[in-house]
Amino acid sequence: MHNGFIQLYFPDADAIRAELSEGLLAQHAHTSPKYLYDALGSTLFEAICKLPEYYPTRTEAAIFDNCLSDIARSIGRGSTLIDLGAGNCDKAARLFSALQPVEYVPVDISVDFLRDAVTTLRQRYPHIKMTGIGMDFSLSLDLPQAVRKEKRLFFYPGSSIGNFNPDEAATFLARIREACRSDGGLLIGVDLVKDMATLDAAYDDALGVTSAFNLNLLLHLNTLLGADFDPRDWRHRAFFNQHESRIEMHLEACRDVEVRWPEGRRRFNEGERIHTECSYKYTADNFLRLLERAGFGTTRTWTDERGWFLVCHARAV
């Protein structure tokens, strides 16, 4: 069985510094959510997924548990399973017995984390060809020649599509559609609009784990940028913006503070914010229209009994 690991992502420290500096100096300071996931950030996010308030992970998992045979019938066996943002590969591995993929292709920007996860997974499933790919799939989906072209099923769980604004999401889905060729498809998890109290609590939990996850970004910025952020000067803010249909996460200055780094400096007044993440919430109809716009059709959907979360299999048309 041929197995491999292909690293296409090599962090460009200068480009990262330039991007971060530009975001921090913008009129409304912001950073990309990908910078939340350093080693500690990834560990904190795994903890968030176990919190009572954070419903998306277990709601999606329950849909897969309850509907797996139906989902497998919709997809068929023998796919090339391409797992976008694979992380520890656990979500995809739970589908192996039902989908029986010919090849598993986990893709993630966290190269070392992914390499370790794939090594472990290979021991459990030696009969499945595995090709791990370290790449930033938000920029490109040009998969290496080594990846089988037939029956590509892109797997994008965890409502990560919500990190893109709707126009970016449409562009990203169209890129997946192109990489599907004629016989491929997409299996995706989407968080749905629900009452504001549930949404707000999911991103601002009582134990403060999400707060620690957000504040850890400042330590990561200090490393990447050579900045002098002190997390004690900042507080976590998260809320549902109804007009935009999105959760917003910000870091808010608790007092007037000046932050310096080699390429720049900025004074933040008390109450001023750095926007760190968005998570868009869809209605089922809105999301299916987005898929249609991107060139997908013949869609099957599954949801939980409360209608909080949607799992969707769409075919390339």
Report how many domains make up the chain: 1
Q: What six digits make up the tokens of 80?
A: 């090339």
| pLDDT number for residue 21 | 98
Residue 2 confidence (pLDDT) = 57
Encode pLDDT of 241-299 as tens digits.
999 999 999 999 999 999 999 999 999 999 999 999 999 999 999 999 999 999 999 89
Dist. CA 166–CA 141, nearest whole Å: 19
Q: Note down the domain range covering 123.
A: 55-194+283-316
Give the model confidence (pLDDT) of 14-61 as tens digits.
999 999 999 999 999 999 999 998 889 988 998 999 999 999 999 999
Would 36 be classed as within a structural domain? no
What value does the mean pLDDT of the chain take? 96
Give domain status of residue 183, yes or no.
Answer: yes
| Predicted local confidence at residue 82, as pLDDT | 98
Complete DSSP assignment for 33-101: GGGG-SHHHHHHHHHHTTSSS-HHHHHHHHHHHHHHHHHHHHH-SS-EEEEET-TTSHHHHTTHHHH--
Tell me which H or E stretch contains 201: helix 196-202
**Where is average pLDDT lowest: 108-117, 150-159, 220-229?**
108-117
Domain-located, residue 167: yes
Which of 1-15, 101-115, 170-184 is predicted least confidently?
1-15
- Give the percent of the chain with pLDDT over 70: 99
Residue 267 is predicted with a pLDDT of 98
The answer to whether residue 1 scores a pLDDT higher than 70 is no
d(CA 93, CA 124) in angstroms, rounded, equals: 10
Separation CA 105–CA 131 (nearest Å):
5
**Which pLDDT score, from 0 to 100, does residue 15 have?**
95
The SS3 assignment for 7 reads strand
- Would residue 165 count as lying in a domain? yes
Quick one: pLDDT at residue 298?
83
Q: How far apart are CA 171 and CA 136, in angstroms?
A: 15
Q: Is residue 201 part of a domain?
A: no
Q: Does residue 213 sit within a domain?
A: no
pLDDT digits (tens, 9 = 90+) for 71-92: 999 999 999 999 999 988 999 9
pTM across the whole model: 0.94
What six digits make up the tokens of 201? 């609590």
Provide the pLDDT for residue 139: 85
| Any domain includes 188 | yes
The CATH number of whichever domain residue 117 belongs to comes to 3.40.50.150
Domain-located, residue 70: yes
Mean of pLDDT values over 110-117: 89
Sign of CA dihedral 207, 159, 45, 172: negative
